[in-house]
Amino acid sequence: MSVGRYAIYAAPTGPISRVLTAPLAQMQYQTSGTEQCALLDEGDDATHYMRDGLPVPYPTRPEGAYWTFDYQAGSWLDPRDLQAKKDARWAVIKAAREQAEFGGFAWDGSTFDSNAISQSRIQGAVLLAGMAPDFTITWTLSDNSTRLLDAAGMVAVGAALGVHVGTQFEIARQLRDAIYSATTPEAVAAVTWPA
């Protein structure tokens, strides 16, 4: 009596509910209702589904937790409505905006950090520079080199930071408008943060 590896599945096409290793003669006792069994030479319930008695590998699942598999079409589908897709795309854009905002900025040939702590430090130094005309500070740049700044230089760095942050928010605002005015899922998906 030969032993084989069998997939139990809902016929004719569907997910594998379980995989058993047993003699074929015993498999009739393992199915119920509309279930069928078929020899499974490769894969398992996580990597394959059944179509007309044969195992078929799942195509690569797109990123995101919302995808569902359509066994008849043999492809992944996004069941979200247009509004949900817009909201999800806006969340992606906001994350890109934050990355751009906190990713540093350039002024006068030097690159400065712009994460939340660095922004606070720059704002504090600008305030001090405005109160002391003879102000100087040795500032550590993004690459850990340093640059000596006087009061005017520090104020200019603060202004450059303000322009940098404002630019990221303006880009995001325009992209948000494009997302929420889109009328198709394809138009929503086409809205991306500029390279």
* Whether residue 174 is found in the same domain as residue 101: yes
pLDDT digit string, tens, across residues 28-62:
778 888 888 888 888 888 999 999 888 999 999 99
pLDDT for 136 equals 98
Is 102 a member of any domain? yes
Is 22 a member of any domain? yes
The span from the CA of 121 to the CA of 103, in Å, is 15
Find the mean pLDDT for residues 80-102: 97
| Percent of residues, the chain, with pLDDT higher than 70 | 99
The span from the CA of 152 to the CA of 107, in Å, is 13
Strands (E), 24-157: 35-39, 48-51, 54-57, 68-70, 75-77, 105-107, 110-112, 136-140, 146-150
| Percent of residues, the chain, with pLDDT higher than 90 | 73
Domain of 105 in residue numbering reads as: 82-189
Is 13 a member of any domain? yes
Q: Predicted confidence band at 1 (pLDDT cuts at 50, 70, 90)?
A: low
Question: Domain total for the chain?
Answer: 2
> What average pLDDT is seen over the chain?
93
pLDDT for 151 equals 96
Find the mean pLDDT for residues 88-93: 96
**What is the pTM for the complete model shown?**
0.73
* Whether residue 48 is found in the same domain as residue 136: no
* Whether residue 73 is found in the same domain as residue 100: no
The residue among 18, 44, 77 that closes a domain is 77
Is 194 a member of any domain? no
The residue among 29, 59, 77 that closes a domain is 77
pLDDT digit string, tens, across residues 134-180:
999 999 999 999 999 999 999 999 999 999 999 999 999 999 999 99
Q: Predicted confidence band at 117 (pLDDT cuts at 50, 70, 90)?
A: very high
* Whether residue 69 is found in the same domain as residue 105: no
pLDDT surpassing 60 at residue 120 = yes
pLDDT for 44 equals 87
For every residue of 135-184, DSSP letters joined together read: -EEEEE-TTS-EEEEEHHHHHHHHHHHHHHHHHHHHHHHHHHHHHHH--S
Find the mean pLDDT for residues 51-74: 91
The residue among 77, 94, 124 that closes a domain is 77
Q: Predicted confidence band at 101 (pLDDT cuts at 50, 70, 90)?
A: very high
